Structure 1
Amino acid sequence: MSQVSEIIIRIGDFKLEIQQSIFVWLCICFFSMFFFYFAGKKIEKADPSKAPKGLVYVCEEIYNLILYVVQGNLKETTLHYVPMFGTLILLMLVSNLTGLIGLQNPTSNVSFNATLAVTMWLMWQYQAIKKGGFVARLKELTEPMWLLTPLNIIGELAPPISLTMRLFGNILAGSIITLMIYTLIKNIAPWGYLGLTLTPFIHMYFDVFSGVIQTYIFFTLGSFFLGQQVSKEAE
């Protein structure tokens, strides 16, 4: 189970090097466009008086899953943010599961995770400024006393760093441990073939269980911080 860290694309004298994790993410986005397009067509043609089935049923369950993750934090603004969170949750979940087919997880790339986390952070800040104004937002950083301003600033910067490193650490650690186990099995052959019976359980934990849990944690925290700014119930 060796992983190539980068993919080289050559067109004549032109050479493009791209990280495998980023290439996998672009492929996931590409195929997701077709999935959402055809799913939308199916939903438009579906009869609301009949029980959903097939792709429509799958989409309904995905929608319920998204509501389960974000509705408790976003409250009455949930429907406004479902398209964004729904898309990102589905894409990240698929990304975390790509290790099952021997591809490098996009979320094992720290720059990828940082981009998502900073995007979420900018959204929180934008909503905070939109709610009370830029001056009011700066004033919040000096409360309850101006001496605590440095700590408040650190508190504002900590969430995106925490989201980035938690996701990166868990996914990368799972990939490394799985690779080490495969290497060990290969080196102790022929007994290694007996060890292959353990690999489904390894992937079940590091790719499936851990991937689902990390997706849930990332967007639960992301929706929580956003809900603090946009939900009236949080005020």
Structure 2
Amino acid sequence: MSDVSQIVIHIGSFEFQLHQSILVWLVICVLMAIVAYIAGKKIENADPSVAPKGIVYWSEELYNLCLYVIKGNLKETTAHYLPMFGTIMIGMLLSNLVGLVGFQNPTSNISFNATLALMFFLMIQFHGITKSGLIARLKELTEPMWLLTPLNVIGELATPISLTMRLFGNILAGTIISLLIYTVIKSVAPIGYIGLLITPFIHMYLDIFSGVIQTYIFFTLGTYFLGQQVAQQED
């Protein structure tokens, strides 16, 4: 798949293009579904008196990891949103790390990131309206004084834009930097091959560390804003 840039599907006069990043995301989704099914069967048959191991153990660790990221923001509503956000979180993490095996990161595609950010935005607005009503939600945009309404509207719209561009910029930048490093190494070969000694450390930061951090930041910020609408706020 790393040699496939896109798949073009023709339906009559309509042309539909699937970019490599989207193809990678579809493969990740299928693999996650298969693993989740197997893990579910293993968990159903697991003996609770025996310490978990294998896929059951790792499923519990991923569950606790996702719980750690979103529980502080969603509070009592965490159990309701955990299945969806936990699944997307793991998918995004894999999307950020898939560049390690030579595929294009789905998160380096701005449309992919914008879709996830728009999901958060629509959920925030939907719950804001259902919690207090449309009139009350619109009134929030005029607080603390009506002169600040334009700034409040911009602030609301800035949420999906910020989530999209932060993730897109960091993942794409890591991809570009890695490509430039390998280009330099190739251009000064064979001496440049010495540079391959440091590339594992570069990937540790650009792909692993940055990928994990960006996933954490995306869902921490997204669930924070959502939590303002769905979770009970402490006095």
Query: TM-score category by the smaller chain?
Result: over 0.9
The answer to whether 1:222 aligns with 2:230 is no
Deviations 1:70-127 (A, max 9, x none): 1111111111111011001100000000110111100001111001000111001111
Question: Tell me, what secondary structure is at the counterpart of 2:6?
Answer: strand
Aligned to 1:196: 196
* Runs of 5+ consecutive residues of structure 1 not aligned to the other structure: none
Deviations 1:173-195 (A, max 9, x none): 00000000001001111112211
Aligned to 1:49: 49
* Runs of 5+ consecutive residues of structure 2 not aligned to the other structure: none
Aligned to 1:103: 103
Deviation at 1:146, TM superposition (A): 1.2
1:3-82 aligned at under 5 Å gives the runs 6-8=5-7, 17-82=17-82
TM-score between both structures, scaled by the size of structure 1: 0.94
Cα distance in 2 for partners of 1:54, 1:208 equals 23
Aligned to 2:150: 150
Cα distance in 1 for partners of 2:4, 2:38 equals 33
> Which stretch shows the higher mean deviation, 27-36 or 168-177?
27-36
Question: Tell me, what secondary structure is at the counterpart of 2:51?
Answer: coil
Deviation at 1:35, TM superposition (A): 1.0
Is contact 1:6-1:17 (8 Å) kept?
Answer: no
Question: Tell me, what secondary structure is at the counterpart of 2:90?
Answer: helix
User: What is the one-letter code of the residue matched to 2:117?
Assistant: A
User: What is the one-letter code of the residue matched to 2:80?
Assistant: H
> Which stretch shows the higher mean deviation, 225-234 or 211-220?
225-234
The answer to whether 1:83 aligns with 2:83 is yes
Deviation at 1:5, TM superposition (A): 7.8
User: What is the one-letter code of the residue matched to 2:28?
Assistant: I
- The alpha-carbon distance between structure 1 residues 200 and 59, as it changes in their structure 2 partners (threshold 3 A), is same
Aligned to 2:160: 160
TM-score between both structures, scaled by the size of structure 2: 0.94
Cα distance in 2 for partners of 1:4, 1:163 equals 30
Q: Kindly, what percent of the aligned residue pairs are identical?
A: 66
Deviations 1:136-184 (A, max 9, x none): 1011111111111111100111111000000000000000000000010
Aligned to 2:136: 136
1:178-197 aligned at under 5 Å gives the runs 178-197=178-197
Question: Tell me, what secondary structure is at the counterpart of 2:26?
Answer: helix
CA RMSD of aligned residues (A): 1.8
Question: Tell me, what secondary structure is at the counterpart of 1:232?
Answer: coil
Cα distance in 2 for partners of 1:6, 1:121 equals 30
- The alpha-carbon distance between structure 1 residues 48 and 106, as it changes in their structure 2 partners (threshold 3 A), is same
